[in-house]
Amino acid sequence: MCRGDQEAALIAHGHHERYNGQGYPEQISHPGIKVFAQIVGVVDVFDAITSDRCYRQAEHPVTALELLAGAGNWWFEAKIVNAFMENMAAYPTGTFVQINTGEIGIVTDTPKGQSFFPNVRVLLDAGYGKVTPYDLSILHKGCWVNTILEDSAVNKALQEQAKLVGSS
């Protein structure tokens, strides 16, 4: 077996070990867990939460990132969790959201290192009124995502807006 193969095998073997020693197969704790095994472990947990399983539906990435945010120096070394979170978007591009102001929009991107503060193209005002779409950096405006909207909720909001326009 080559050195690279041995290293890959050790990473695969250790990716379920946890910082606090409650993982498996050997209940190794920090600092005995290889860094690359921890990295693979973080990615594995994120993937497990955000993927459909035979026993449950996939969770939204924000749920996985919130769980991982609390796992630093408990399941994984905090600096590894933080590095992962700096490079992931809690609200992927194309996600419909309602921000705390009540406005509804679609996520256009997420600045690096700001997982929970995406840039949003606002499409409807707080009363579901149509607006000329504009881009909003919720981080710079002191806003936050209040709710993730399914496509059907957005369609309903647009239909409500159309009814209001039609009755005036």
Q: What's the one-letter identity of residue 138?
A: I
134-165 pLDDT, tens digit each: 999 999 999 999 999 987 777 777 667 666 55
pLDDT digit string (tens) for 68-126? Answer: 999 989 999 999 999 999 999 999 999 999 999 999 999 999 999 999 999 999 999 99
Please give the pLDDT value at position 151: 75
* Alpha-helical runs (H) found in the chain: 3-14, 35-50, 61-69, 78-86, 151-167
Token output for 83? 């590095």
Residue recorded with tokens 């609390």: 70
Indicate the domain borders of the chain: 3-86, 96-167
What local confidence, expressed as pLDDT, does residue 43 receive?
Answer: 97
Q: How does the average pLDDT of the chain come out, rounded? A: 91
pTM, 2 dp? 0.83
Partners of 148 in beta bridges: 97
pLDDT at 4: 77
Architecture of domain 3-86: Orthogonal Bundle (1.10)
8 A C-beta contact, residue 86 and residue 112: yes
How many angstroms from the chain centroid is the CA of residue 118?
11
